Structure 1
Amino acid sequence: MELQQHFKLLASYNQWINEKVYESACGLSEMEIQKDRGAFFGSILGTLNHIAVGDTIWLQRFATLPACRHSLREIAALPGPRSLDQIIYSDIEELRAHRQWLDNRIIEWIDGLSEPDFAQVLNYRTIKGISGSKRLSNLVLHFFNHQTHHRGQVSTLLMQAGKDIGVTDLLALIPDTEDPDHQ
């Protein structure tokens, strides 16, 4: 399977699981959403904002590459986050709408990349000013892994608030394939 196919699967998974997470989160009171539960970003709202902030930071970095400029131009035009714990939306419904918009941009971006694009090297600086220079394929993998890591935290925080989001495994989106050797 090509890298693009793997990343298309991850982009679809990202959109699917985010919808499940936000469906559960939006069923909670504002107090429950904002309650500090001892997570790294405090609350459900804080952690969901962090995921959106991280996505924005990385997508704006990716937008500097020629292969990504056009598909990420709307994200490149957003104000750059100032910190990793920035609350960009304090209202969960507004954050959900932004998340849906981001997820659609991510799918369009991945759909527009070709296999050779993933070999490009991105030179970037972290929020702390540390320089990095890495292959796009590895950074895209990090991008999706970062989301999964923090969504796992949100899943736990939602469970603490009495909300079970159900199946969260990528396996749920991987289609069955017939094995020609076992027919």
Structure 2
Amino acid sequence: MTGDTRFTLLASYNRWMNRRLYDTAATLPHEALVADRGAFFGSILGTLNHLVVTDTIWLKRFASAPEAPGVLTALDDTPMPTALDAIPYPTLPLLRERREWMDALILQWAATLTAERLGGSLTYANTKGTAFTRSVLGLATHLFNHQTHHRGQVTTLLSQAGVDMGVTDLLALVPDEG
């Protein structure tokens, strides 16, 4: 069985945008990346760390399901983050290395999202310990939507720092069928 093409497209877009975002961020000095810009996670680096932290949390939750795909065992040695505003990677090069690794894992995981898997549910606890049971389809969609939301914030922060991201639309990866 192959994965749902919608999620493989979203995973490909996720990696493509993250690479472009990190390339753009790398044009700024470290001081500009860690400057508090009044964003929810303070800085460009803070927001990018938040995305790695939350992707780790969600993928570890998906890995906890009894029918979890084997690709997620790559996270076995990764501790579960406890704070959404943690900065486990204090420099862009360290963060980028982890982001690249995570994006490759997300691509592999997305390829396992069959209709059967997406039709199931996942029981998990949030960072405050509150339990939920929600559809895998909804949670997988949230993972990618959350990325897009915060990348949009980062592109605004980059723009405020004088750096233009250029095209950021998913449409750039949707093939023309004409």
Q: Bin the TM-score by the shorter chain.
A: over 0.9
One-letter code aligned to 2:44? I
Question: What is aligned with 1:175?
Answer: 175
Answer whether contact 2:3 2:113 (CA < 8 A) is retained: no
Q: Is 2:26 aligned against 1:26?
A: yes
Question: What is aligned with 2:130?
Answer: 130
Answer whether contact 1:36 1:43 (CA < 8 A) is retained: yes
1:69 offset after TM fit, Å?
A: 4.0
Q: Percent identity?
A: 49
- May I ask how many residue pairs the two structures share in their alignment? 177
Q: SS of 1:71's equivalent? A: helix
Q: SS of 2:155's equivalent? A: helix
Compute the RMSD of aligned alpha carbons.
1.3
Answer whether contact 1:119 1:137 (CA < 8 A) is retained: yes
Q: Distance in 2 between matches of 1:122 and 1:112?
A: 15
Question: What is aligned with 2:51?
Answer: 51
Q: SS of 1:167's equivalent? A: coil
Which 5+ residue runs of structure 1 have no aligned equivalent?
Answer: 179-183
CA displacement 1:122-172 (0-9 Å, x = unmatched):
000000111110110110000000000000000000111111111000010
1:112 offset after TM fit, Å?
A: 2.4
Question: What is aligned with 1:104?
Answer: 104
1:3 offset after TM fit, Å?
A: 7.6
Answer whether contact 1:59 1:76 (CA < 8 A) is retained: no
Question: What is aligned with 1:181?
Answer: none
Which 5+ residue runs of structure 2 have no aligned equivalent?
Answer: none
Question: What is aligned with 2:71?
Answer: 71
Answer whether contact 1:8 1:107 (CA < 8 A) is retained: yes
The structure with more radius of gyration = 1
